[in-house]
Amino acid sequence: IEPDADDIKITKSESLKETLEEALHVQEVELIPTGDGDPIIGPREQWNDGSNTLTIRPGVVVTYDRNFVSNQLLRDKGIKVLEIKGSELVRGRGGPRCMSQPIYREDI
Point out the residues that are catalytic.
98
Distances 4 to 9, 13, 18, 24 between C-alpha atoms, Å: 5, 18, 21, 19
Q: What backbone torsions phi and psi does residue 85 show, to the nearest 5 degrees?
A: -65, -60
The CA distance from 108 to 98, in Å, is 22
Q: Are 64 and 44 in contact (CB under 8 A)?
A: no
